[in-house]
Amino acid sequence: MGKSIQLTQVKPKSYIRLGFTIFLIVLAGKFVISNALPYFGFQKERLGSYWEDRWALIAHISGGLLALAIGPFQFSKKFRNKFMTAHRWLGRIYLVAILVGTIASTYLAWTNSVKLNFSWAFGLQMLAVAWISTSAMAYLSVIRGRMLQHKEWMIRSYVVTFAFVTFRWLNDLPLAHQLMSKPEERAPTIVWLSWTLPLLIAEILLSWKKK
């Protein structure tokens, strides 16, 4: 009787977790195929206003895609326990990818994005600051042997990494265009929303688990 009650309590959580994971995979897959990879064709029509800054854009996208791909392996307990050396090297590559992506995004913010308006450039810059800051804290935690803090900061770091996917998803929603018809209004709002709200949710969940 006790086992059956326990199973009924665990299964719904497992299904919710599985459903959420599938949702994120679909979102990330759509982002990579539809939004990110086409830029590597180096077509002037596709790159548009980024044509003059195409190498910075490619560096930014490459760093983001690499971090996006590495993240799930770093959170896998089985992978970490079986391939600790690989886990450490992937962690280093993850940090370098984010560093490259941050430098490139900072450059793009104040050379290209600022042409739309200051709010858009500033929003992207703050996303870059959050990206490198959470990742740096994850690194500092692990070299100090604070493994629980390292795990929590890695979660925060990946939440911010995923913000690029979240931004595209929110920006494509018809509701966003209905509420904010002007790109100069919509883009800055969504870029803040794409990482602050998920990070808030992550903080709530991390605090809830400690109780």
Res 66 pLDDT > 60: yes
How many structural domains comprise the chain? 1
What domain range is 71 assigned to? 26-209
CA-to-CA distance for 137 and 149, rounded, in angstroms?
Answer: 9
Q: Which amino acid is at 15?
A: Y
CA-to-CA distance for 208 and 211, rounded, in angstroms?
Answer: 6
Res 144 pLDDT > 50: yes
Does the residue 17 lie in any domain? no
Does the residue 9 lie in any domain? no
User: Tens digits of per-residue pLDDT, 115-143?
Assistant: 989 999 999 999 999 999 999 999 999 99
Could you tell me what percent of the chain has a pLDDT over 70? 93
> Are 112 and 50 within 8 A, CB to CB?
yes
Does the residue 18 lie in any domain? no
Res 84 pLDDT > 70: yes
Tokens linked to 198: 């998920």
